[in-house]
Chains A and B, each alone.
Chain A
Amino acid sequence: MSVQLFFQHLANGLSLGSLYALIAIGYTMVYGILRLINFAHGEIFMIGAYTAFYLVTLTFLPWFAAFVVALGITCILGMGVERIAYRPLRDHPRISVMISAIGASFFIQNLAIVIFGGRPKTFPVPPMFGTIITIGGVNIVSITFIIPIITLIALFVLLFIVNKTKTGMAMRAVSTDHETARLMAINVDNIISITFAIGSTLAAIGGIMWGLKYPQLLPIMGLIPGLKCFIAAVVGGIGNIKGAVLGGFLLGLMEIMIIAFLPALSGYRDAFAFVLLIVILLVRPSGILGSVQGEKV
């Protein structure tokens, strides 16, 4: 494989990986706080993309305004999902919450099919995201650079919030122990809502980025990426934001590189993520950056 080819693959892998990373952060935050796999996260991602699409095509808003408004709407939707599907089940066994999550995911997906229709929609791509840049024989679309930058910005902003603000401290407290946090006069419900808000906003950003890179929207587009991003979060260490980003990049690179070196396996692509998951769960269940948590008896 020529150096040029390798770098092309590398660029592709990093681009895909940063998308996964962006969405994985949302998963990991929610899991850290609620010990819940938010199956509906993939659907929030999808709604983010569709909302941006409709705002751009149906209103006269310029695209950056439309994107921001889409973020807001999706954020509220994410909080809504928490309020309806998860909050009532706070004290119930985990199985119930998981089933509710799966139910919510399918509900939103099917609702999207009914409302948006099953035919794909073309995401409007403003020119600055679509220009092709050539570096040393390697062709890269501008969006490929923009996504990792946005991901890293999001990462730093988030780390700042979590480590340097009071809200962040409250979030860390809640993720350690709900009861004790409550005793410390932290409004647990509010913190959880805020967590969902942040996670959903990130998912929406991810959705818009996805739409810019792969300009085709389908109601089912959130399902597989959702699963893969959860796997990325687990691989990196669930509950750990840096881990989520790492896991996302790792997964994206792995997907591309395996096909690059073993083209015959291209049909098994989706299976790679699942295989990686199982390997990690068996070898190091807490993930790469996660801390080993013993089970309290």
Chain B
Amino acid sequence: MKKIMVMLMFVLIAGLVFAGGEQEQGSSDVIKIGVFEPMTGANAAGGAMEVEGIKLANKLYPEVLGKKVEVVIVDNKSDKVEAANAAARLVDKEKVTAIIGSWGSSFSMAAGSIVKEAQIPTVGASCTNPLVTMGNDYYFRVCFIDTFQGAVMANYAYKEVGARKVAIVQEISNDYSVGLAKFFTDEFKRLTGDENAIVAVSNYNTGDMDFTAQVTNLKSLNPDAVFAPGNYTESALLIKQARELGMDVPFLGGDTWEAPEFLDVGKKNVEGAYFSTFFTTEIPITETSEIFIDEYRKEYNKEPAAVTALGFDAYMVILDAIERAGSDDPVAVRDAIATTKGYPGAAGIITLDATGDAVKNAVIKTVKDGNFAFVTTIVPE
């Protein structure tokens, strides 16, 4: 009880600091769009790529409704507690009209209830876990969800690769990986009609570098293909070790493989790996795609990643919604976003369904001659 006095003192000071801080309002000539992404921590690469897209979009289209659009970027440090704090800061302190974020479904989910309560519409660029938008009217995304992506890869494995028995290697501590593995499994079992079509499920943890034991086990089971929907960091090493051990069956993965480091680390071992993703520069889907690809090449002097295109699209969708709503009132913007139909984004035509997910084509890519190469497009049924 004696401590309460000291507590009071500090609480008072803190309270004043924050109460005072609350006075700052954005000037009414500026529309603020908040961005919370992992800029540091384990997922810094993904966040950085998305932010590139957002910044590019902001550079090309800096105004809407006659007002300047300011992008406020907050780092969620690849950490859930921080993600929630970041979202709270954007909503409360920065008073943004809309939010873009985050790479990594678990961070998006951490912020979900905050944006819902504050009624600020949030658009995810590449987070594919279904739970992000489920039950949340204020969360949308411009990409497809994992139920679709898993099925796409299962179909590809079955029809194009001709696999009947597949082994799965999943990153057990990553919800994306676990989810995608499950959806793949369900669809693949349905296609083959064989309950034992998945010969083995092997696990690894984030940050693991040695997969020799798991791979050796898998090799002895002789699968026709291996589905390894983990991050590029571990996947490249995994495939390398598999090849070194003499395993040469095709490896299949998801959109997280599309990063330059995958090619760097994997080198020739990842030749012939297949994965699903959102976008390819070889077939610009819309006019926006062409503009985006051109401007990106000019600005950064390299090829854009899929999540960069998605970040770009998230920004564009919000801008489009603000225009259609004719105001920057978050609730009105939210309603406008929800009715987005046939919007030509850089990564494809965006139509949002009732849950807030985008119904889009998937693109299958492979690695050929040390580069990512387009294979085919899969249209949702």
Q: Do chains A and B touch in the complex (CB under 8 A)?
A: yes
State whether A118 touches B233 (Cβ < 8 A).
Answer: no
Asked whether B196 is an interface residue with its Cβ less than 8 Å from the other chain, the reply is: no
Which of A9, A15, A218, A270 is close to B233, meaning CB atoms less than 8 Å apart? Answer: A218
State whether A266 touches B216 (Cβ < 8 A).
Answer: no
Q: Report the Cα distance A15→B216, complex, angstroms.
A: 14
Residues of A within 8 A of B217 (CB): 259-260, 263
Question: Given A118-B41, A118-B45, A122-B264, are A12 and B212 neighbors across the interface (CB < 8 Å)?
Answer: yes
The tally of CB-CB contacts under 8 A between chains A and B is 93
Interface residues of A in 248-270 (CB under 8 A from B): 255-257, 259-260, 263, 266-267, 269-270
State whether B214 touches A224 (Cβ < 8 A).
Answer: no
Question: Given A5-B220, A120-B233, A259-B213, are A216 and B208 neighbors across the interface (CB < 8 Å)?
Answer: no
- Residues of A in contact (CB 8 Å), total 38
**Taking chain A's interface residues, is the majority helix, strand, or loop, or is none over half, making it mixed?**
helix
Asked whether A202 is an interface residue with its Cβ less than 8 Å from the other chain, the reply is: no
State whether B213 touches A9 (Cβ < 8 A).
Answer: yes
State whether A120 touches B204 (Cβ < 8 A).
Answer: no
Contact with B along A87-124 (1 / 0, CB 8 A): 00000000000000000000000000100011110100
State whether B236 touches A216 (Cβ < 8 A).
Answer: yes
Q: Report the Cα distance A103→B210, complex, angstroms.
A: 28
Residues of B within 8 A of A215 (CB): 237, 240, 265
Contact with A along B199-242 (1 / 0, CB 8 A): 01011110111101110110010000000000001001100100
State whether A122 touches B233 (Cβ < 8 A).
Answer: no
Interface residues of A in 114-151 (CB under 8 A from B): 117-120, 122, 132, 134, 139, 141
Minimum Cβ distance to chain A for residue B227 (Å) = 16
Residues of B within 8 A of A141 (CB): 244
Residues of B within 8 A of A118 (CB): 40-45
Q: Report the Cα distance A118→B47, complex, angstroms.
A: 11
Question: Given A120-B233, A120-B261, are A266 and B213 neighbors across the interface (CB < 8 Å)?
Answer: yes
Residues of A within 8 A of B246 (CB): 134, 139
State whether A214 touches B264 (Cβ < 8 A).
Answer: no
Residues of A within 8 A of B244 (CB): 132, 139, 141
Which of B172, B214, B245 is close to A8, meaning CB atoms less than 8 Å apart? Answer: B245
Residues of B within 8 A of A267 (CB): 172, 203-205
Asked whether B378 is an interface residue with its Cβ less than 8 Å from the other chain, the reply is: no
State whether B237 touches A216 (Cβ < 8 A).
Answer: yes
Asked whether A2 is an interface residue with its Cβ less than 8 Å from the other chain, the reply is: yes
Interface residues of A in 39-78 (CB under 8 A from B): none
State whether A269 touches B207 (Cβ < 8 A).
Answer: no
Q: Report the Cα distance A223→B208, complex, angstroms.
A: 11
Residues of A within 8 A of B332 (CB): none
Interface residues of B in 25-51 (CB under 8 A from A): 40-45, 48
The listed residue with most A CB atoms (<10 A of its CB), out of B41, B44, B213, B261, is B213
Interface residues of A in 207-237 (CB under 8 A from B): 210, 214-216, 218, 220-221, 223-224
Residues of B within 8 A of A (CB): 40-45, 48, 172, 200, 202-205, 207-210, 212-214, 216-217, 220, 233, 236-237, 240, 244-246, 261, 264-265
What 18 new A-B contacts, CB under 8 Å, besides A16-B212, A113-B41, A215-B237? A12-B210, A12-B213, A13-B213, A118-B40, A118-B43, A118-B45, A119-B261, A120-B265, A216-B265, A224-B207, A255-B210, A259-B214, A260-B217, A266-B202, A266-B213, A267-B172, A267-B204, A270-B205
In the A-B complex, the 4 residue pairs with the closest CB atoms:
A118-B44, A267-B203, A259-B213, A12-B212
Residues of A within 8 A of B (CB): 1-2, 5, 8-9, 12-13, 15-16, 113, 117-120, 122, 132, 134, 139, 141, 210, 214-216, 218, 220-221, 223-224, 255-257, 259-260, 263, 266-267, 269-270
Q: What are 25 contact pairs spanning A and B, CB under 8 A? A: A5-B216, A8-B245, A16-B210, A113-B40, A120-B233, A134-B246, A141-B244, A214-B237, A215-B265, A216-B236, A216-B261, A216-B265, A218-B207, A220-B42, A223-B207, A224-B207, A255-B210, A259-B214, A259-B217, A260-B213, A260-B216, A266-B214, A267-B172, A269-B204, A270-B205
